[in-house]
Amino acid sequence: VFEPIGFDAFGIHSENYALKVGVHPMELIPRNVANFRRQLERAGLMVDWRYAVDTTTPEYYKWTQWVFLQLLEKGLAYKKQAAVNWCPFDKTVLANEQVIGGACERCGTLVEQRLLEQWFFRITDYAGRLLANLDTLDWSEGTKSAQRNWIGKSQGAEIAFIVQDVMEYAGSAMATAGQSGELTAKAIEIRVFTTRPDTIFGATYLVLSPEHPLVSTSATDDQRKEVAAYVARSAKQDLVSRKTSKEKTGVFTGGYATNPATGQPIPIWIADYVLMEYGTGAIMAVPGHDERDHEFALQYDLPIVRVIANETHTAEAPIGDAAFLETTGCHLVNSARFNGLSVSEGMSAIVTELAAKGAAIPVVNYRLHDWCISRQRYWGPPIPMIYCDACGAVPVPEDQLPVLLPALEDFRPDDSGISPLERATEWYHTTCPSCGAAARRETDVSDTFLDSAWYFLRYPSTDRDDVPFGDAMTRKWLPVHSYIGGNEHAVLHLLYARFVTMVLHDAGFIDFEEPFTRFRAHGMIVREGAKMSKSKGNVVNPDDYINEWGADAFRTYLMFLGPYEEGGDFRDKGISGVKRFLDRLWRSVHDARTEGALDADVQRKLHQTIKKVTQDVPRLSYNTAIAAMMEYMNAMRSDERTPHVAEVTPLVQLVSPFAPHIAEELWSLLGNATSVFDSRWPSYDEALTIEDRITMAVQVDGKTRGTISVPRDVTQEQAMEAAMADQSIAKFVVGVPRKIIFVKGRMLNIVL
């Protein structure tokens, strides 16, 4: 087993902490890393420190920059001006994944929208694969489902609605209905995305997002002023209030488009409930069968038509006060030649027919957005790009990596949207790698999640400075066979790491495309029933507990207090049970006898315990493994019995992964010259785990009425005889049993 560890200490969280305590991160981070390492070693963490990584060292981020260049080369990294999430407190942009309910995931400040030039990774190109591969991964179900939702695949169609006779007039365009154009009249199309093409006969109006490029084109002269005012108002409104308030507002453009299914003109509206970021930024509104459209139609008095019905509805049945959303067992009505088709038949028939006319194409849409990796902050790996007036954006050549992060005294971010790195003038002004002329460096640093999106590839090769990862070692140890982390990384780290791994696979650097074959999300440990938080002051500081109880009791208790994947409740008093167990182990070994016979019952319990622990550990069932060892301890010491050396020795080995310090000491005391961790894991004999007499439950009519002690391989007849011999059972058996259920070695049920 190769188990390394690393420190990912770039990023806003570290930088903010540095600002708070007033120490430069270049000084602070190594100090904190040293403290973490001290605590981990003190707690007995057994990892291979020779292969540790620290993402803030030039030896590491050289290769983070290299990863960026690989994406750039493949056309998967690009810079664009876009409306991005801006955190006014942290003074930087954030990825969509870092915005939680409209607020910054780090500081909780409400996020604003800003139009800025940013670097993006084309993770959307991989949306289909990122989704499909999930089915092949042995991951916690909750984590997979969070990724599925985030990627958000929607199957549907893009449909074109034609707006006739849009006239060029005085340098702007306008649309008028039912008027043949003389001068420069032309037709334009508005494309919408829908997952319900079957309802197109019920599309009674179109809605454009206020940011839609055709907004002004669609507006007629008499509506122009009103439309412009509405668009201006919604542009001023920030993203958060627009997303949190469910109030729908809108304005009629005056224009009409033709519904390609009915051939009828329908009005074009602009409304804030349609988002520019998703689909085409325009929708066909079907108020009969969509909640939002229904609400809007009621508010603005737009027609509502039923096109989907179940057996109880007639085609004329009104929709009522809520949209009709059912689909199973429903059929199409008011849909001309498609009437009577089921919803799914209707979908494909309508798309096929519209597609033949060139008015529709089947489309898959994803909710996932490209990954914004630019950060206008100091504490991160500089993005290795140089801007030259003659050559444009030029990547830093690989042999000039790393682009070192300059030691900048005042690294405080400001509100300008420009990274503090611009103030490192000597660093900022450089020469163009391509033409040698004066040039400027990119001042943004990359998102910390890029550091952690590939670090697992680095571990086996930390001794190499000529390559990010060596072939032989990578093949030997990767992909990661067992990965454990918090579920809060489901749509962050775990998604980005999968994406970067796929890209590196496609570029031919590695021969696998999924980084983690098995992933388990650990649970959350709460303290006396409450979430731990610094502000509440109820966090568990390992140093205090190790001082009071010892490292072994502390770590064994952490594994005992609850199921690993569900977390548990850390209670200060609970640790005493584990401490008592370890004390008993200590005394048992010290007092162990070498003479006298072994007890058959204790031997059986020993083999059962070895079996149980051996099976529980790979399943992460640490709490039950520890419980089993406690049971064995109780059996070994029952009736004030003194355990034999042969009985305690294997227990010391079983305990060693949980309480390594005590185990090592006791192992030595037992006369071993080498480490307990170099000894063979104890084995068990299946035959010796089996009890020869068992206690079998006897039920009468399914109710347990007693137990009988019988040989393990008892037959039904013998069991019946034993059961009837027991008065407390026999008294319930009146008359002749109708049926006898006998499960060998388990139970007997007498049915009357």
Partner RNA sequence: GCCCGGGUGGCGGAAUCGGUAGACGCAGAGGACUCAAAAUCCUCCAGCACGAGAGUGCUAUACGAGUUCGAGUCUCGUCCCGGGUACCA
| Residues between 539 and 578 that touch RNA (CB under 7 A) | 560-563, 566-569, 571, 573-574, 576-578
Residue 674: count of CB within 10 angstroms of its CB = 9
Encoded one letter per residue, x for contact with RNA by CB under 7 A and - for no contact, window 574-603 reads x-xxx-xx-xx-------------------
Closest CA to 208 of 152, 150, 260, 250: 250
Identify the residue among 124, 154, 327, 689 touching RNA (CB under 7 A). Answer: 154
Position 193 contacts RNA (CB under 7 A)? yes
Residue 172: count of CB within 10 angstroms of its CB = 12
Position 59 contacts RNA (CB under 7 A)? no
Determine the interface stretch with RNA among 11-19, 375-383, 477-485, 487-495 (rule: CB under 7 A): 487-495
Closest approach, Cβ 177 to RNA, in A, equals 24
Closest approach, Cβ 72 to RNA, in A, equals 27
Sheet with 739-743, side-by-side order of all strands: 703-711, 693-700, 747-751, 739-743
Closest CA to 598 of 552, 561, 648, 647: 647
Counted residue by residue, the chain has a size of 752
Position 245 contacts RNA (CB under 7 A)? yes
**DSSP assignment of 214-236, as one string?**
THHHH--HHHHHHHHHHHHHHHH
Identify the residue among 58, 108, 142, 303 touching RNA (CB under 7 A). Answer: 142
Position 680 contacts RNA (CB under 7 A)? no
Residues pairing with 117 in the sheet: 81
Q: Which amino acid is at 161?
A: F
Report the distance separating Cα 713 and Cα 694, nearest Å: 9
Q: Which amino acid is at 694?
A: I
Position 242 contacts RNA (CB under 7 A)? yes
Position 87 contacts RNA (CB under 7 A)? no
Position 149 contacts RNA (CB under 7 A)? yes
Report the distance separating Cα 582 and Cα 577, nearest Å: 9
Chain centroid, CA 465 distance in Å: 32
Identify the residue among 236, 357, 680, 746 touching RNA (CB under 7 A). Answer: 746
Which residue is associated with the tokens 């325009």?
A: 282
Q: Is 4 left (phi over 0), alpha (psi -120 to 50) or beta?
A: beta
- Give, as ranges, the residues between 204 and 233 that touch RNA (CB under 7 A): 209
- Give, as ranges, the residues between 259 and 298 that touch RNA (CB under 7 A): 272-279, 281, 283, 290, 292
Report the distance separating Cα 29 and Cα 310, nearest Å: 65
- Give, as ranges, the residues between 363 and 422 that touch RNA (CB under 7 A): 365, 367
Position 77 contacts RNA (CB under 7 A)? no
Query: Are 323 and 287 in contact, with CB atoms under 8 Å apart?
Result: yes
Identify the residue among 71, 163, 421, 626 touching RNA (CB under 7 A). Answer: 626
Which residue is associated with the tokens 């006239």?
A: 167
Identify the residue among 702, 734, 735, 736 touching RNA (CB under 7 A). Answer: 702
Report the distance separating Cα 521 and Cα 178, nearest Å: 61
Determine the interface stretch with RNA among 12-20, 183-191, 637-645, 717-725 (rule: CB under 7 A): 637-645
Determine the interface stretch with RNA among 306-314, 341-349, 451-459, 696-704 (rule: CB under 7 A): 696-704
Report the distance separating Cα 170 and Cα 156, nearest Å: 39
Position 630 contacts RNA (CB under 7 A)? yes
Q: What are phi and psi of 563, to 5 degrees?
A: -65, 135
N- to C-terminal Cα distance for the chain? 58
Position 705 contacts RNA (CB under 7 A)? yes
Position 642 contacts RNA (CB under 7 A)? no
Identify the residue among 627, 645, 646, 724 touching RNA (CB under 7 A). Answer: 627
Position 711 contacts RNA (CB under 7 A)? no
Closest approach, Cβ 634 to RNA, in A, equals 5
Position 527 contacts RNA (CB under 7 A)? no
Closest approach, Cβ 342 to RNA, in A, equals 18
Closest approach, Cβ 205 to RNA, in A, equals 13
Residues pairing with 173 in the sheet: 168
Closest approach, Cβ 496 to RNA, in A, equals 14
Residue 184: count of CB within 10 angstroms of its CB = 10
Encoded one letter per residue, x for contact with RNA by CB under 7 A and - for no contact, window 92-121 reads --------xx--------------------
Return the ∠ at Cα 112 (arms to 110 and 113), rounded to 5°: 150
Q: Which is nearer to RNA, 680 or 703 (CB)?
A: 703
Identify the residue among 114, 248, 313, 527 touching RNA (CB under 7 A). Answer: 248
Encoded one letter per residue, x for contact with RNA by CB under 7 A and - for no contact, window 325-364 reads ----------------------------------------
